[in-house]
Structure 1
Amino acid sequence: MQPKNDDDDDHDFLDSKVKDTIFYLLVNNQKQTIIKRADLTKYIIKDKSRYFDQIIKRVADELNQVFGYDITYIESQKGYLLFNKLPTDRTLLKISQEKETKLSLIFLIASHIYNSGGSVTEKSLWKFLKLFGIQQDIEHTLFGDVKRLIYQLYVKECYFEIVDQDQETELYFKFGPRCLLEMNNDNFIRFNNELIQL
């Protein structure tokens, strides 16, 4: 039996860390928040950070080929987002009713932002949502506390960003990185056509 050399040790290390990183990403992606690069280094790669780029490249390839996910680094957040690149009609996983409800509100807001050129004022957003019976300070029967969902959860999950553009009291909502990755023009055009037919 031949003794292992350093190349074998590096190969075994990389294989192990690729598997660990994929597991970490998939588990943490359930929270739908940014997965910080610093956390990957701290909890998975540890003192071998010189291998980080190699590991992430292999992780990206496996996530894509095996799970149908793309991984994207968001510079402003110093972290990664995973998103399913498979069309929703081809995914094997069923979306829960709760998640489907959540996505419908996200899509409604995103469509308004899209139709408004990429950003909307806070006032415009609530005026639009009121057309669908959704009011800022009234608990909605389907969505619950909509204000908390929009201002906290959807911002934390990177669907939307809240910007104070003019340094006054008016806030603006614009697409967050997850929204830009998961939704496209065809989705918005199809949704607009469905709304017109209502």
Structure 2
Amino acid sequence: MLLLFLLNKYKKKEPFMKAEIMKVIGRRNKDAYPGIMNFASKMLDLVFCLDLKEMDPFTQSYILLRKLYFTEDERILDGDGDRGFPKYGLLMALLSLIYVNGGRATEDEMWEYLHRLAVYDGEKHIIFGEPRKFITKDMVQEMYLEYVLVPYSYPPCFELLWGPRAHAVTSKLQALEFYAKLTGTNPAAFPLQYEAALREEEMRVRAQVAARASHAMKSRACPSATSSSSSKP
């Protein structure tokens, strides 16, 4: 009940307060409030890839934010219609598996892994709907995943890879951290992937610093250029 309430608030992009949450869980459960919120926060993170943020400790108000870097309206991932559920967690689970497996994952590996989220091939999921269509068609069409035939496989076998748009919404480090949380391990338990993820993160930070420095230099140069042009007769 609490998750449905929180997801409805997310869909409406509305903040919410502790008093509203207490109405959902009932005053008789007020002593269990910290534990309930902790569990709900973990579920929102792993299943929906949403972050529960406290906006104001005095008013005890909260808001749900996406943890992936989407910059446009994503109807498929954000849920179809008012009753749809966010599907970011399922996509993140797949991207994390692919990364840990060296950049590709077979269908058998994928379904075995998705059992952790109670997602099964051929069974409609209460949150994610029909999983095979979502994974092998919707996400492929949106270019978050690639679904390719393994060369020379008989009988034919398919595997999943990161699609072009996957690199725009997440990073190797974020994918590895998600995999570690979902499997109860540690990112450092995958030394090769962890080292590569840290290198990518370092390059990303350096690029951001360089971009800010370049912007600052251009900003300082603009006033001088304006001044010199205005001093001409």
TM-score by length of 2: 0.42
Greater length-normalized contact order (CA 8 Å, ≥ 6 residues apart): 1
* Structure with max Cα Rg: 2
